[in-house]
Amino acid sequence: MTHWIHGPLPHHDEVNVVFFRGTSLDALTQGLLGLRRKPLAYGKGTDWGVVMHDMLSWESGDYDLADYGQVCPADSELVVFVTEPCLAKAHGPSFEYHRDGRLITAFSFETPYWQGGEEPDLLLPALTAANLTGPRADLDRHDNEERIVEAITRFFPLPELHMP
C-alpha cells in the first residue's frame, strides 16, 4: 500500500494534512476557512486531531501556502504535512511545526538536513536516528518520504493514519 504522504485523499490533489492539539476542531476549521482553505476530512484522537484541507485557496490566483501561525493560538500545536506542494514540478512534500502561533521548525522532504524556524534542530535527533541526516544519512532510498513521516510521527507522537 502507498503511504498516506502520497495522496492522502482519493480524488483530491494538493492536500495538506494538519495534526493539531490544544485547539478545537471548530476553531481550526473556522481559521482555515478564514484563510480560504477548504477542510476536506477530519478526525480526533485521544491527544492529537487531524484535518485535511485543500493546499490552495479557493480564491483565483492565491497560490501561497497557508499561514498556520494565524490558526495556532497560544497553548496549541500544529504539525503540518504539505503532501504535494507542486505536482507539476514534482517537488517533494514539506513539513512545518507550529507552537503558540510561531513557526518552530520546517523543512522540505527533499532536503531534511536544511531546516528553518525558531528551533531548526528540534527534529535533528529523530532524523539522524532514522539515517536521514548526519554522517550516515541514506538519502538514496526510494522510501525516504515514508521514513521522514515515520520519524516525525514517533517524535511527537502522532496517531497513525489508516487510509483505504
For residue range 66-124, list pLDDT tens digits in order: 899 999 999 999 999 998 766 545 577 999 999 999 999 999 988 888 889 999 999 99
Runs of H (alpha helix) within the chain:
25-34, 124-129, 144-155
Distance CA 140, CA 137 (A): 9
Is residue 1's pLDDT more than 70? no
pLDDT of residue 2 exceeding 90, the answer is no
- Collapsing DSSP states into helix, strand and coil, what is residue 144? helix
69: DSSP letter: G
| 3-state secondary structure at position 146 | helix
83 by Cβ neighbours in 10 Å (0-12 / 13-18 / 19+) ranks as buried
Cα 161 to chain center, whole Å? Answer: 13
pLDDT band at 14 (very low <50, low <70, confident <90, very high): confident
Contact 17, 158 (CB under 8 A): no
Q: What integer pLDDT is reported at residue 162 of this predicted model?
A: 67
Q: What is residue 62's predicted lDDT score, i.e. its pLDDT?
A: 63
Angle, CA 120 vertex, CA 114 and CA 122 arms, to 5°: 115
pLDDT tens digits along 136-154: 888 778 888 899 999 999 9
Q: What is the pLDDT of residue 64?
A: 74
Q: Note the pLDDT tens digit of each residue in 22-35.
A: 999 999 999 999 99
Could you tell me the residue ranges of all domains in the chain? 15-120
Q: Which residues contact 141 (CB under 8 A, 6 or more apart)?
A: 147
Distances (CA, A) of 48 to 19, 95, 113, 123, 139: 6, 17, 26, 18, 29
**Which cell goes with 45?**
484522537
pLDDT of residue 74: 97
pLDDT at position 112 is 86
Beta-carbon contacts of residue 117 (< 8 Å; ≥ 6 apart): 96, 97, 103, 104, 105, 106
- pLDDT given for residue 65 in this prediction: 82
- What's residue 137's pLDDT? 81
pLDDT band at 59 (very low <50, low <70, confident <90, very high): confident
pLDDT value for 35: 93
Average pLDDT over residues 32-60: 89
